[in-house]
Amino acid sequence: MDSSEMTNVKDLLMKASMEIAKLASSLDHYVQDDNNPEHKKLFEEQVRDANEFHADIDDLIALLTLGQSPF
């Protein structure tokens, strides 16, 4: 993977990471506003999954920023 490909992948991952963070934030608002315990549990799981995925993407971005291929 050359430098320009790594930059393109990094840019796409950064966009994805920001969108996932927005999604996690939106889901968190639903958790706060929903009084149904089953819904709360589902939303909490989705927020946790989104945050974990966000962290994984950030790790890939860090490697690409350092010029290392994560693949």
- Provide the pLDDT confidence category of residue 16 given band limits of 50, 70 and 90: confident
pLDDT of residue 57: 86
Domain boundaries, the chain: 3-65
| Tens-digit pLDDT profile for residues 27-47 | 777 667 667 788 778 877 887
Quote the crossing angle between the two packed helices 37-65 and 3-33, to the nearest 10°: 160
Nearest Cα residue to 53 out of 20, 11, 27, 28? 20
